[in-house]
Every structure is written in structure tokens, then in C-alpha cells.
């Protein structure tokens, strides 16, 4: 880009995606080319579209040059300065590679379909703010996810505009010799060439992989054409590019990562590539390499139902990965054993990417407390014989990058209360500061935000009505919504389990609620249905038809093409955010978190994150049950609690009870469900121990990993010989003494942990008491293990069990064997 010498720093500013959440330079881009800026909100496109004459003119403008210099200096100081991570956790100097099929950084980089991608984008932004050493790995889709248009009859159309890399704020990645950096995959006897782009997200680099390369054949150029597009083999190749080419790219860049974080199972092939590269480098076997590397792998599952996991036919996996002409022809592991990494038990079952991710990781987590429970149930087939509560899947509840979602009004309020650095470190001190905000300041903020949403919705509504050819579109749009009315928001993917038409179950009742002249209620709705989801499309049409009814038309607006830009406006402006999924089908859900900083309140099913957040002081919860019961409760809450409380005003016109609820929600929940808290938990609970474990296992030519691989082989070979014999129990008051005879076969007592186990009962938790080998136990005969426990439970509630033991193994995650006394 040929910029005047005085303005060369504009390129760096335009290529740093901090402008997606730091808006100090918005006026600057608008002053260069207002039309381009208003249409795209893409500084890189603005620079490309600006004429040389305009740029030369600005280069002579002292005020403009001074503003550019200030922005550039602030950016450089931010990048070079210390951070929360360098100040508070200086010992953590490991690099985390974050793999995700989607990244939602902003509407100008449309590489996302929904919540998974928005979460990934927020993750990278927060990592930049906190100074966490992270690198992102994703795919550059030429078409990305679809754009939605809806006709007046409710029919949804999908459009796939081309993502021209030249207009995106990304740059090619060059190799040391100045060429475009490429990595190659061997597939079916041919090479797939994968080139790389980089997007700068503050301190974090996001590398995007692209197969649209003239060196590839037509079919392979289309691998990264469309997000989640194509058939099974295309999807398989997309995941191969993400996991395998992604890890090879890191190696080509000289980036030595300690932690590989897989955001869903799409990236599970990184497990194989990481082990294979270690195997080649250190001269160890595949199993030894897997033991060495998986300690540093993290798998986050977002799926609340087993049917949501990607599965592929074993023949496809064999042909593309481990056949002589495949990607890994020299793993040194049999086909059956390799395929089994992605299967629960049956050799004929499909290869499950989530199973591979779990088996290849040292840490596994769901994305909310409830989702952790659901995930333990989903993955139970991999832990046969283990109680569900002991399946080694924890949770880290998602959070949102708050600066990306707060309004200008909320930003001013939070800055005055908590300072400019409030989202660049710990959030522990925010609650008392926000609790001290006055009712007047809160109500002023909410009124301004609601008015701005109404103005935005009217503009967007007019545009879509004009496109549909509706007569009098400007007048219709001007009459839509009321800046002073209670404003509800509902926006998400239209899928049956999310129950997006629950509010329409009794349309006459809903019409009465909306049509109350003394206490007006209005709603803004948005959402896309998957192109193949006919039921979701029907639900979109149902809302369109309802919004077109004359009696509710000014109070109901459906805004098409739900994206990040629209989500920002909605979450900043609505008074109440409605969420109606069937419990427990929403793993976490983060849309409701985004209203917190802006003083919006939640009315939600107690699913995902809201199951942790809900209380009577901060919002409202739907009754769990049938659709009929949920709809009745939804109407009742609106009619009897929410609407009356919003319109209950004192002599100064302030809704004091409503404002008390806003204050409680903002102060307690906004910090708790921020990505600051989320990343701090990942760092403390997962990344630090994963990096340490990876360092131990890979040290000294993987000496510890080789011992663990041999230990596993010995255990598996001999485990069938482990069985229980006689059991003796003795009860004396509240003391229960148990002695169990155990045949250990070829195994020594130090390789087996014998325990006395009891399920939870009433208020009593599960019990797991180690049993020690008795002194009289003979080395050559059956071993005798015993223990004494104080309990009020009967002896019949307890059962001895034996499981493998090794102090350096994560069990049962890395070896889920267990034998129970029968």
C-alpha cells in the first residue's frame, strides 16, 4: 500500500484488529472516507478505497497527523508495555496454540457461524488484553457462513458473498526466503498445498489456513471455500487442514508451543500431528510420543448432545491418514489400533473426532457447570465401569470480552467507576464500585442505549423493507418501536431446541401484552436458520408473519441477517434478553452475558451459564418442563413481574426496584462472566499444569513418557488377571472395617490402587477410601487389602474396586480401566 510518508503508520493501525473493540480511532477512519467507513467498518478497506489525492490532502492536515501519531503511540505503548500476565503470573512463559474452526472477531472478518466462533474471537481479544501468550489457528473461508435475507412471506434466502482476502485486514505469511509460506499435506498420493495468512489481534496473532492456491487442483482449492460446507470428505479435509496443517505451520514459523487447546473436536487431528512430529524428532514410538505430548493438549467440548460430534467412516480415515499414500504412512501403529482412537468399543462404528480429542488430551472441560455434568454422561462410553461423576471432565464456564460488547454509554459509566484498565486484569474489585453507582446514572445510561437501539433498528428495518419492495417503507420504519417502552430482545440461531417461537405459542395473549397503551412492550427479534433446517426456517417465517400483523407491527421488529454488528446493538439496547432453550441442550450460551455490562437483564431457562448465575435479585428464570408449561410461565413473568416493575416509577420518574436489579446484575455478574475470569481459570487450572506436565514428559528424550507407555502396556496385558476373591466386613458402632482378597496376577501392588467406594446417598457425598495392602499379605499369593471408615451407611452400600495407579499419569483419563468386586 502506497501511503504518504507522513501516514505510513495508518497501515499498522488498520491491520491491528484492536479497532474491533477500541473505538478511539473510529472518527479517523470516517474522516478518510465516510462512505466506505459507514458501509464496511473496515479500516483496511477504507485505506484501499481512498484516493491518492485524499491521502495527500490528509498528509498536509496537522490535526489529522497529530491524531494518527497519538493512536500509533498508544498502540505501541500497549503492545510493548507490561500486562496482567507479566505482572501477576511472570512464571508462565509457555505458548498456547488455540485451534478453532471459527473465529468471530468482527463483522468485517466473517469467519464464524455462531457462538463457537464468537467465543473464540472473544478468547483471542481477552488474551491480548491480559498479555496471555496465545497464538490462534483457524481457516480462511472464501465464503464463510451465509448472509440472510427474508421475504415478506417469511421465506429465508441464503447468500454467500466472497471474502476477498485483499480487502480483509489480514496479510500473507512469508517464509524466510520471502516466498508465501506454505505447508503441505500428502493425501491419496497427491499434495495439498496450504498457504497462510495472519490477522493481528493486539498482542495475539491469528494464523488462517487457505487451500485456494493455484498449486492445488480445483477440488482441493475448494476445501476452505465454505464454512461447514460440502460433503463428509470435504469436512474431513477441512479438519485435517485445521489440525495437521495448523500444527505444521507452527513448526514452520519456529513457534514451540507447550499447550495445544482444541476448541471443539474439529481440531483433533492436531493430536496426531503433534505426536507424529515429536516421534520423528526424538526417535520414539507413536505410543511413547502420544504419552509425551498429550499432557500438553486441552480439549474443550461445546456439544450438549452426542449426535453433535463429527463422525467419519473408518475407511475414509484409513485412506486419507494412514494408508501408504496418506498423511501418516509411517506411524508404526496398526490400522485397527489407530481407528480405535476415535471409537468407543465397536470396530464398525464411525470414527468420532471428539473421542480422538479426549483420548489425545491431558485436560478436558465443558463450558459451564451444567455442561460439565452433561459431558460426563455423553462421554461415559469411553469410561465403562466408572461412575459418571468420576469421569474426568471438568468445566470452565465461558465468558465474554466485555470491551467488545459494552456501549459508549456503559463504557463511560464503567470507566468513571472502575478506571480505564478495568478489563485488562483482575475483576475482583469491580462489584463494590459498580454497586455504588446512582440510580440516576444507571437510568440515564439505559435510556440512551434504548433510544440508540430504536434509531438503529428503524434504519435497518427501512433498508430491508425497501429491498422487499414494500410501499411506504420509510414511514413504516419511522413508526416502529418507542424509545421509552420496555424493550425485549430475542436473537440466536433458529433451531427447534432453542424454542424461538415460544413467545408465539399464545399469539392473542402476546398481542394483549404488546398492545397495552399504558405499559407498552416491544420486542426486537433476529436469527438465522441453518440452510438445511426446514423447521428452523418455518420458525423464522412464523415471526415474520406475526411481525406483519397490523395490531402489533409498530411493537415487533424482525431484523434479518443476524451478525456481530447487530448483536452488539441489541445487547447494548434491550432491557430484557430472553433465552428459551430446552434444558440441558445449551452448553453455555453467551448472548445473555453480553447484556450484563450494559445494564440489560436476563429472562432465561436455567440452562448453561444462567444455571450458575440465576437468582431473584438479578433476573428471572423460566420453569423447567414442557413447552406449554414454559410458555405459560414466560407470559406470567412478563405480565405479573417484569412489566409492572419496569413501569413502577417514583415521583422522580425512576423505577427504583428495576434499577436495584440492574445494579445487582451489573456488579455481580458482569465481572463473573467476563473472559477475564475465564482466562484466569484456564491459566490456573489447566494451562499451567498442562505446560508443566508436558515439560516433564518431553524432557530427556521423553524418558518419563517412555516409562509411562511401558507401564500402560504392562497394565493392559495383565489387567484381565486382576480379580477379587473373598470379602470380609465387620461393623462396630459407626466403624466399618473391610478386608478384600485381590488376585493381582503379574502386577505388583504399587501398580494397582484398591479402593472402597460408595455412591452418594441423600446429603452424603460419594466416598472413595484407599485400601492398604495388609502386612500378612504374601508376595507370591493373593494380596489382601483393608481399610476402616467411619460411616452411618450399611456395609452393603460399599464396594471394593481396583484401578491402575501411576503417580505421573492422569487417571482415569489416560487409562480408564477398573475392576469391581462382584
Q: Is residue 579 part of a domain?
A: yes
Q: How confident is the model at residue 657 (pLDDT cuts 50, 70, 90)?
A: very high
Task: Please state, for a pLDDT cut of 90, what percent of the chain lies above it.
Answer: 93
Q: Which of 22, 56, 80 is the endpoint of a domain?
A: 80
Task: Please state, for a pLDDT cut of 70, what percent of the chain lies above it.
Answer: 100
pLDDT tens per residue, range 598-621: 999 999 999 999 999 999 999 999
Res. 778: pLDDT tops 70: no
pLDDT tens per residue, range 790-811: 999 999 999 999 999 999 999 9
Same domain, 308 and 447: no
CB 14 within 8 A of CB 36: no
Res. 779: pLDDT tops 70: no
Same domain, 132 and 65: no
CATH number, residue 298? 3.40.50.2000
Q: Is residue 293 part of a domain?
A: yes
Same domain, 644 and 773: no
pLDDT tens per residue, range 592-603: 999 999 999 999
563: left (phi over 0), alpha (psi -120 to 50) or beta: beta
CB 42 within 8 A of CB 25: no
Same domain, 281 and 256: yes
pLDDT tens per residue, range 239-290: 999 999 999 999 999 999 999 999 999 999 999 999 999 999 999 999 999 9
Q: Is residue 419 part of a domain?
A: no
DSSP 151: -
First and final C-alpha spacing in the chain: 75
DSSP 816: -
Res. 763: pLDDT tops 90: no
What are the phi and psi torsion angles at 533 (to 5°)?
-95, 95
Same domain, 758 and 613: no
Is the torsion defined by CA of 616, 621, 624, 626 positive or negative? positive
Q: How confident is the model at residue 780 (pLDDT cuts 50, 70, 90)?
A: low
Please give the Cα distance from 109 to 505 (Å, whole number).
37
pLDDT tens per residue, range 545-561: 999 999 999 999 999 99
Please give the Cα distance from 208 to 266 (Å, whole number).
15
- Give me the long-range contacts of 631-638 (CB less than 8 A, separation at least 24): 631/502, 631/503, 631/505, 631/506, 634/502, 634/503, 634/578, 634/580, 634/603, 635/506, 635/509, 635/510, 635/513, 637/603, 638/513, 638/521, 638/603
Same domain, 239 and 216: yes
The three grid cell numbers given for residue 514, joined into one nine-digit string? 404488546
Same domain, 54 and 137: no
Q: What is the DSSP string of 179-222?
A: SBPEEEEEETTEEEEEEEEEEEETTEEEEEEE---TTS-HHHHT
Same domain, 31 and 114: no
SS3 for 366? Answer: strand
Q: Is residue 418 part of a domain?
A: no
pLDDT tens per residue, range 458-485: 999 999 999 999 999 999 999 999 999 9
Res. 222: pLDDT tops 90: yes
Q: Tell me how many domains the chain contains.
A: 4
pLDDT tens per residue, range 107-127: 999 999 989 999 999 999 999
Closest residue by Cα to residue 576 from 546, 621, 542, 613: 621
Please give the Cα distance from 667 to 659 (Å, whole number).
12
Q: HSE, CB side, 13 Å, CA atoms: give it for residue 123.
A: 33
Q: Which domain holds residue 40?
A: 5-80
Q: Is residue 408 part of a domain?
A: no
CATH number, residue 731? 2.60.40
Same domain, 245 and 112: yes
Same domain, 75 and 190: no
Q: What is the pLDDT, as a whole number, of residue 406?
A: 97
Please give the Cα distance from 512 to 635 (Å, whole number).
11
Q: Is residue 717 part of a domain?
A: no
Q: Is residue 489 part of a domain?
A: yes
Q: Is residue 711 part of a domain?
A: no
Same domain, 72 and 106: no
Q: Which of 80, 115, 145 is the endpoint of a domain?
A: 80
Q: What is the DSSP string of 260-325?
A: EEEESGGGTHHHHHHHHHHHHHHT--HHHHHHHHGGGEEEE---SSGGGS-EE-HHHHIIIIISTT
Q: Which of 646, 662, 697 is the endpoint of a domain?
A: 697
Same domain, 384 and 517: no
Amino acid at each position: 500500500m502506497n501511503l504518504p510518508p507522513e501516514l505510513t503508520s495508518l497501515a499498522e493501525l488498520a491491520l491491528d484488529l484492536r479497532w474491533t473493540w477500541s473505538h478511539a480511532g473510529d472518527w479517523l477512519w470516517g474522516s478518510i472516507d465516510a462512505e466506505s467507513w459507514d458501509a464496511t467498518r473496515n479500516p483496511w478497506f477504507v485505506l484501499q478505497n481512498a484516493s491518492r489525492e485524499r491521502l495527500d490532502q490528509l498528509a498536509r492536515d496537522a490535526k489529522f497527523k497529530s491524531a494518527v501519531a497519538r493512536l500509533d503511540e498508544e498502540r505501541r505503548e500497549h503492545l510493548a508495555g507490561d500486562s496482567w500476565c507479566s505482572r501477576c503470573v511472570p512464571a508462565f512463559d509457555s505458548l498456547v496454540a488455540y485451534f478453532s474452526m471459527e473465529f468471530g472477531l468482527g463483522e468485517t472478518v466473517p469467519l464464524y457461524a455462531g457462538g463457537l466462533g464468537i467465543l473464540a474471537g472473544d478468547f483471542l481479544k481477552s488474551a491480548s488484553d491480559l498479555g496471555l501468550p496465545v497464538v490462534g489457528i483457524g481457516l480462511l473461508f472464501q465464503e464463510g457462513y451465509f448472509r440472510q435475507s427474508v421475504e415478506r412471506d417469511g421465506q429465508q434466502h441464503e447468500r454467500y458473498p466472497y471474502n476477498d482476502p485483499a480487502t480483509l485486514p489480514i496479510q500473507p505469511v512469508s517464509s524466510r526466503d520471502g516466498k508465501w509460506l506454505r505447508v503441505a499435506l500428502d493425501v491419496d498420493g497427491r499434495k495439498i498445498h496450504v498457504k497462510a495468512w495472519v490477522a493481528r489481534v493486539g498482542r495475539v496473532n491469528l494464523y488462517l489456513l487457505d487451500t485456494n492456491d493455484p498449486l492445488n487442483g480445483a477440488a482441493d482449492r475448494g476445501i476452505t471455500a465454505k464454512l461447514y460446507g460440502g460433503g463428509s470428505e470435504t469436512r474431513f479435509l477441512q479438519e485435517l487442514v485445521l489440525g495437521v496443517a495448523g500444527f505444521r505451520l507452527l513448526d514452520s514459523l519456529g513457534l514451540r508451543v507447550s499447550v495445544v487447546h482444541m476448541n471443539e473436536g474439529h481440531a483433533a487431528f492436531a493430536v496426531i500431528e503433534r505426536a507424529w512430529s515429536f516421534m520423528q524428532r526424538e526417535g520414539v514410538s507413536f505410543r511413547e510420543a502420544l504419552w509425551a505430548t498429550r499432557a500438553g493438549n486441552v480439549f474443550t467440548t461445546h456439544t450438549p448432545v452426542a449426535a453433535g460430534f463429527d463422525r467419519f467412516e473408518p475407511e475414509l480415515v484409513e485412506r486419507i491418514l494412514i494408508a501408504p499414500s496418506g498423511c501418516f504412512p509411517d506411524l508404526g501403529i496398526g490400522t485397527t489400533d489407530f481407528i480405535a482412537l476415535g471409537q468407543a468399543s465397536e470396530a464398525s462404528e464411525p470414527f468420532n473426532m471428539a473421542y480422538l480429542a479426549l483420548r489425545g488430551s491431558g485436560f478436558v472441560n465443558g463450558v459451564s457447570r451444567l455442561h460439565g455434568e452433561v459431558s460426563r454422561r455423553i462421554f461415559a462410553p469411553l469410561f465403562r465401569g466408572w461412575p459418571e461423576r468420576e469421569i474426568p471432565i471438568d468445566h470452565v464456564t465461558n465468558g465474554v470480552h466485555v470491551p467488545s460488547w459494552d456501549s459508549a454509554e456503559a463504557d463511560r459509566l464503567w470507566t468513571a467507576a472502575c478506571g480505564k484498565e478495568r478489563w485488562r486484569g483482575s475483576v475482583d474489585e469491580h462489584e463494590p464500585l459498580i454497586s455504588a453507582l446512582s440510580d440516576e446514572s444507571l437510568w440515564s445510561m439505559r435510556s440512551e442505549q434504548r433510544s440508540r437501539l430504536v434509531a438503529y433498528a428503524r434504519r435497518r428495518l427501512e433498508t430491508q423493507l425497501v429491498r422487499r419492495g414494500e410501499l411506504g417503507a420509510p414511514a413504516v420504519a419511522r413508526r416502529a418501536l418507542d424509545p421509552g417502552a420496555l424493550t425485549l430482545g430475542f436473537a440466536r440461531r433458529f433451531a427447534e431446541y432453542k424454542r424461538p417461537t415460544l413467545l408465539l405459542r399464545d399469539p392473542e395473549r402476546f398481542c394483549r401484552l404488546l398492545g397495552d397503551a399504558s405499559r407498552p412492550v416491544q420486542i426486537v427479534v433476529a436469527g438465522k436458520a441453518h440452510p438445511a433446517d426446514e423447521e428452523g426456517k418455518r420458525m423464522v417465517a412464523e415471526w415474520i408473519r406475526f411481525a406483519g400483523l397490523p395490531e402489533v407491527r409498530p411493537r415487533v421488529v424482525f431484523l434479518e441477517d443476524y451478525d456481530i454488528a447487530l448483536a452488539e446493538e441489541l445487547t447494548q439496547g434491550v432491557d430484557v434478553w430472553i433465552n428459551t432453550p430446552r434444558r440441558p441442550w445449551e452448553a453455555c450460551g453467551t448472548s445473555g452475558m453480553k447484556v450484563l455490562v450494559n445494564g440489560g437483564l436476563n429472562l432465561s431457562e436455567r440452562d448453561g451459564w444462567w444455571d450458575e448465575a440465576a437468582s431473584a435479585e438479578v433476573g428471572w428464570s423460566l420453569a423447567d418442563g414442557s413447552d406449554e408449561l414454559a410458555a405459560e410461565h414466560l407470559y406470567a413473568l412478563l405480565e405479573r413481574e417484569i412489566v409492572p416493575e419496569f413501569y413502577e416509577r417514583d415521583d422522580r420518574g425512576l423505577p427504583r426496584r428495576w434499577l436495584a436489579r440492574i445494579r445487582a446484575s451489573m456488579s455481580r455478574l458482569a465481572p463473573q462472566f467476563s473472559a477475564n475470569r475465564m482466562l484466569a481459570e484456564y491459566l490456573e487450572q489447566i494451562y499451567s499444569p498442562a505446560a508443566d506436565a508436558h515439560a516433564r514428559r518431553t524432557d530427556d528424550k521423553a524418558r518419563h513418557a517412555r516409562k509411562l507407555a511401558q507401564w500402560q502396556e504392562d497394565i493392559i496385558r495383565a489387567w484381565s488377571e486382576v480379580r477379587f476373591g473373598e470379602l470380609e466386613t465387620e461393623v462396630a458402632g459407626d466403624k466399618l472395617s473391610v478386608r478384600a482378597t485381590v488376585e493381582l496376577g503379574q502386577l505388583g501392588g504399587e501398580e494397582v490402587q484398591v479402593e472402597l467406594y460408595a455412591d452418594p446417598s441423600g446429603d452424603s457425598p460419594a466416598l472413595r477410601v484407599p485400601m492398604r495392602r495388609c502386612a500378612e499379605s504374601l508376595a507370591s499369593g493373593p494380596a489382601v487389602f483393608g481399610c476402616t471408615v467411619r460411616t452411618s451407611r450399611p456395609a452393603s452400600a460399599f464396594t471394593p474396586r481396583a484401578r491402575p495407579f501411576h503417580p505421573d499419569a492422569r487417571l482415569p483419563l489416560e487409562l480408564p480401566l477398573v475392576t469391581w468386586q462382584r
